[in-house]
């Protein structure tokens, strides 16, 4: 089954998200190690999505609660946070709720900047990496490929939010730094990652005169060569700050690149009286909060950046496209649920044909056998076409069990032991929640674990009560 555990800007805020995403670059490796060491290996496949707005793990699992425990443990290990904090911060859901969230994320409908452009590329890159690592499954492939197709439709058929603009473009607009304010001016870029590349392109588009780049990790020269910029050495950072019209901080290295003493010196050396605008777009802030209150500087943090409201009709149209995409994904999973039965039926009929052709070959020779094989091949295609179409129709409506019963009755093919009609793999008893449980709104891992403990305690009480009643009855007798 499909499950998702996530921590996002909308349920944690950026401060909480910053804490839980520390070390997220090691999460994929940690999941692999924990799953390999687990006796049941509850994760069949997984994809980890970590961006400035979210940390999400989508997983194809065999054992529901074991999988949740494993992913939670991996996040505890990578973030360094106490177990109770991670359990409180992570929310979990499954099935269609998880699928819908992925479709909304890929389409930019769950971002701080509605309709942002970066997230679709981030989803694509993340999925491609997981695919290359061999960590995906057919279910996850369907999910991410479908979500990316829908995202493309949302971009091409609607004008949602930022209308495909990046968060950098929205941030510059929020600071009123349009082409006329930036043309032939100096800009300083801090960082060389994906967000820095987007920022570089946007600044050049707006006619910036000189773009300088500083990298806390020492990658400025390489980045500058390919992005029309000038590298800034550590001892040149103060001068670059003093001459810049705007600074875009996007390194997110976990330490404050700009602190109050550095910024004070840069402002004192500034040749103009206009304020220095700093857009701190890094999840792990590059600008010390104490520096943001200095006179002569204006800092716009990530959480303060929003796109303008879209027309309601455009948002509704985007959600209609997402609804359609999710329905197709669910139908696809229902159809895949009857794949074992379809394959078994095809094998059964093909085996009959092989036996018949072999008999003709022995009695009448190779030429006659080839003619019979061609004739029976045509019969095979015509015979199975209608059952295959009907199987898909029944699967889409959740009635695949009727197809299973029919092929068992007519052909003697029995695949009941290898198929779960609702799309989940066979698992041990109590390995997964009920269908109704899957459709509940997302809840925190901590709340889910408390519900599980309450249920186990209630079961113990019932067993004790039953035992007490039984022994009491024996004494009465």
Instruction: Say whether 193 counts as a known binding-site residue.
Output: yes
Instruction: Say whether 195 counts as a known binding-site residue.
Output: yes
Extract the tokens encoding 251: 């390194």
Query: What is the 3-class SS of 162-205, one letter each residue?
Result: CCCCCHHHHHHHHCCCCHHHHECCEEEEECCCHHHHHHHHHHHH
Instruction: Say whether 22 counts as a known binding-site residue.
Output: no
Q: What is the rounded CA–CA span in Å between residue 35 and residue 409?
A: 40
Question: What are the backbone angles phi and psi of residue 391, rounded to the nearest 5°?
Answer: -60, -45
CB atoms within 10 A of CB 227: 18
Q: 3-state DSSP: the chain helix, strand, coil percent, rounded to 5?
A: 60, 15, 25
Q: What is the rounded CA–CA span in Å between residue 98 and residue 238?
A: 47
Residues 6+ apart with CB under 8 A from 379: none
| Dihedral sign computed on CA atoms, order 415, 416, 422, 426 | negative
> What DSSP line would sit under 354-375, residue for residue?
HHHHHHHHHHH-HHHHHHHHHH
Instruction: Say whether 194 counts as a known binding-site residue.
Output: yes
With left for phi above 0 and alpha for psi between -120 and 50, is residue 398 left, alpha or beta? left
Instruction: Say whether 98 counts as a known binding-site residue.
Output: no
Residues 6+ apart with CB under 8 A from 126: 47, 48, 49, 50
Instruction: Say whether 116 counts as a known binding-site residue.
Output: yes
Instruction: Say whether 371 counts as a known binding-site residue.
Output: no
- DSSP H or E stretch at residue 65: helix 64-79
Q: What is the rounded CA–CA span in Å between residue 92 and residue 365?
A: 64
Q: Per DSSP, what are the bridge partners of residue 55?
A: 7, 50
Instruction: Say whether 117 counts as a known binding-site residue.
Output: yes
How big is the CA angle at 459 (ends 457 and 462), to the nearest 5 degrees? 110
Instruction: Cite the active site residues.
Output: 52
Instruction: Say whether 122 counts as a known binding-site residue.
Output: yes
Extract the tokens encoding 444: 């925190």
Instruction: Say whether 118 counts as a known binding-site residue.
Output: yes
Q: What is the rounded CA–CA span in Å between residue 452 and residue 8?
A: 24
User: Taking Cα atoms as reference points, which of 198, 153, 159, 207 lies closest to residue 179?
Assistant: 207
* CB-side neighbour CA atoms (13 Å) of 450: 8
What three-state secondary structure class fits 59?
Answer: strand
Q: What is the rounded CA–CA span in Å between residue 282 and residue 248?
A: 9
Instruction: Say whether 363 counts as a known binding-site residue.
Output: no
- Angle of the 194-205 helix axis to the 167-174 helix axis, nearest 10: 50
Distances (CA, A) of 333 to 328, 347, 400, 440: 9, 22, 12, 20
Strands 186-190 and 246-249: parallel
Q: Residues annotated as binding site for substrate?
A: 51-54, 111, 116-118, 122
Residue stretches of the annotated binding site: 51-54, 111, 116-118, 122, 191-196
Report the binding-site residues for NADP(+). Answer: 191-196
């Amino acid at each position: 089954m499909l499950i998702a555990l996530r921590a996002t800007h909308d349920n944690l805020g950026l401060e909480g998200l910053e804490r839980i995403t520390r070390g997220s670059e090691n999460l994929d490796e940690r999941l692999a190690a924990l799953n390999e060491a687990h006796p049941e290996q509850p994760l069949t496949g997984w994809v980890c999505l970590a961006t400035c707005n979210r940390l999400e793990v989508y997983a194809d699992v065999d054992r529901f609660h074991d999988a949740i425990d494993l992913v939670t443990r991996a996040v505890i290990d990578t973030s360094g946070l106490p177990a109770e904090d991670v359990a409180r911060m992570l929310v979990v859901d499954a099935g269609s709720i998880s699928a819908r969230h992925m479709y909304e994320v890929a389409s930019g409908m769950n971002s701080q900047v509605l309709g942002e452009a970066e997230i679709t590329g981030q989803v694509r890159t993340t999925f491609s990496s997981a695919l290359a690592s061999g960590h995906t499954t057919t279910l996850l492939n369907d999910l991410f490929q479908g979500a990316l197709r829908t995202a493309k439709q949302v971009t091409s058929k609607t004008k949602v939010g930022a209308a495909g603009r990046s968060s950098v473009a929205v941030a510059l607009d929020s600071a009123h730094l349009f082409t006329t304010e930036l043309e032939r001016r100096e800009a300083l870029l801090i960082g060389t990652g994906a967000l820095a590349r987007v920022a570089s392109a946007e600044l050049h588009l707006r006619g910036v005169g000189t773009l300088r780049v500083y990298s806390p990790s020492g990658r400025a020269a390489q980045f500058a060569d390919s992005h029309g910029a000038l590298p800034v050495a550590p001892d040149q950072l103060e001068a670059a700050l003093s001459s810049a019209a705007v600074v875009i901080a996007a390194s997110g290295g976990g330490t404050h690149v700009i602190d109050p003493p550095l910024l004070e010196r840069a402002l004192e050396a500034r040749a103009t009286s206009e304020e220095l605008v700093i857009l701190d777009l890094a999840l792990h802030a590059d600008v010390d909060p104490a520096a943001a209150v200095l006179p002569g500087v204006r800092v716009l943090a990530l959480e303060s950046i929003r796109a303008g409201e879209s027309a309601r009709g455009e948002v509704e149209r985007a959600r209609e496209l997402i609804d359609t995409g999710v329905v197709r994904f669910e139908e696809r999973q229902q159809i895949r649920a009857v794949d074992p039965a379809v394959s078994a039926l095809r094998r059964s009929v093909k085996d009959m044909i092989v036996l018949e052709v072999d008999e003709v070959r022995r009695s009448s020779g190779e030429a006659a056998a080839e003619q019979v094989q061609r004739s029976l091949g045509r019969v095979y295609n015509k015979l199975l076409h209608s059952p295959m179409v009907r199987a898909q129709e029944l699967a889409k409506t959740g009635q695949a069990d009727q197809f299973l019963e029919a092929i068992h009755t007519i052909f003697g093919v029995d695949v009941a032991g290898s198929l779960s009609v609702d799309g989940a793999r066979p698992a041990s008893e109590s390995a997964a929640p009920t269908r109704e449980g899957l459709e509940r709104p997302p809840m925190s891992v901590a709340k889910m674990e408390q519900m599980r403990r309450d249920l186990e305690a209630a079961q113990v009480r019932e067993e004790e009560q039953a035992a007490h009643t039984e022994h009491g009855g024996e004494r009465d007798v």
